[in-house]
Structure 1
Amino acid sequence: MQSEEPRLLLIIEDDAAFARTLVRSFERRNYRVLHASSQDEATALLEEHSPGYAVVDLKLHGNTSGLACVQMLHQYDPEMLIVVLTGFASINTAVEAIKLGAIQYLAKPSNTDDIEAAFAHVAGNTEVELTNRSTSIKTLEWERIHAVLAETDFNISEAARRLGMHRRTLARKLEKQRVK
């Protein structure tokens, strides 16, 4: 973890309003914050800065996956603490984010407290409560939809084709389950 003060944080988020809120909130907590809305912007910032922390949105404009950003950041600095935020949470993308170098994966809505707690909670926890509840069909369907969306770089038409459903049906399901 970076010991320099103020702590340097890179936020990769394409929602300008949400990014502004995060930037202001982290600045009030004595972080120095850089903001990029794409992987290219983040790469350019890394040429001049060495952040110890990063917050990455899973789905960026243009169907760009934040997973590519996580991989790039981890390759740049394997010690960087990377938290992935998403409104499209699934087990598949959570596992891939961790494999690529993220330390935590949080579903939106998450606030600065949640993200800062994620930065502090790097090690695994063996005390996590195990549940005997089986996974519902709806949950399995939801996870499968998001796995296919991730495979298709969030292309709804291609995901619908692979899932064997009409594009509008998939769009309605996504809108109904949207987490923001």
Structure 2
Amino acid sequence: MDQPITFLIVDDDELFCQVMERAMKRRGFEVMVAQTATDAMQLAHRHAPDYATVDLKLEESSGLKLLPELLSINPNCKAVILTGYSSISTAVEAIKLGATNYLCKPVDADEVLHALHHTSPDPDTEIAEHPPSVNRLTWEHIQRVLHEHDGNISATARSLGMHRRTLQRKLQKRPVKR
């Protein structure tokens, strides 16, 4: 008898979890859902997932911290980091830490499965015609420095030479598109 293919969804957005869980079950996966890193690790220890989606920004933790722990349980697990707060630095870190791919929300099940299965580099990937705006580059730089300081806002503000409250206001805004 064949083992069912397990799929772990780690995201603190309950609605997203419900939608993705239904979609993956329809595609034949045995789905587990966790909304915290602790719950994800408990499920992973019991069921060693074959595939996973991991939200970058969890309430108590980071998907970047959780990913190596998941991969230590099953090194063959293919995982995609999902985020609504994308930046170049977190994408690079996710790949370095073992993510199969990195996607910006909103995503659907087909996009996730495509990202999990099409892992070969594509030299024909389109290059953006317009470079990122100064505001976007600033936002990405703040994210990179924040990551370097393990999410510590006070240390990040000191490093950037700005007031902590100013940094907090900038972090509460949505990322600039271009």
- TM-score normalised by the chain length of structure 1: 0.85
C-alpha distance in structure 2 between counterparts of 1:88 and 1:73, whole Å: 22
Q: Which residue of structure 2 aligns with residue 51 of structure 1? A: 49
2:80 counterpart residue number: 83
Look up the match of 2:106. 109
1:117 Cα deviation after fit: 1.0
Gaps of at least 5 residues in structure 1 are none
Q: Report how far residue 114 of structure 1 moved.
A: 1.2
In 1, Cα distance between equivalents of 2:131 and 2:33: 40
Instruction: Report the counterpart of residue 174 of structure 1 in structure 2.
Output: 171
In structure 1, the residue corresponding to 2:52 is in which secondary structure? Answer: strand
After TM superposition, what 4+ stretches of structure 1 lie above 4 angstroms from structure 2? 131-135
Deviation of the 1:9 alpha carbon: 0.2
- Percent identical: 45
Matched residues in 2 for 1:19 and 1:156: separation? 29
Among 58, 61, 81, the residue aligned to 1:60: 58
Separation in 2 of the partners of 1:131 and 1:47?
A: 41
Aligned positions of 1:78-157 closer than 5 A: 78-131=75-128, 133-157=130-154
RCO comparison, higher one (Cα < 8 Å, 6+)? 1
Determine the C-alpha separation between the residues in 1 that align with 2:150 and 2:19: 27
Residue correspondences, number = 175
State the one-letter code of the partner of 1:121.
H
Q: C-alpha displacement at 1:46, in angstroms?
A: 2.1
- For the 8 Å contact 2:136–2:175, the answer to whether it is kept is no
**Corresponding residue for 1:13?**
11
Aligned to 2:36: 38
Partners of 1:65 and 1:150 within 8 A in 2: no
Aligned AA for 2:166? Answer: T
Letter in 2 for 1:16: E
**2:45–2:73 CA contact under 8 A, matched in 1:** no
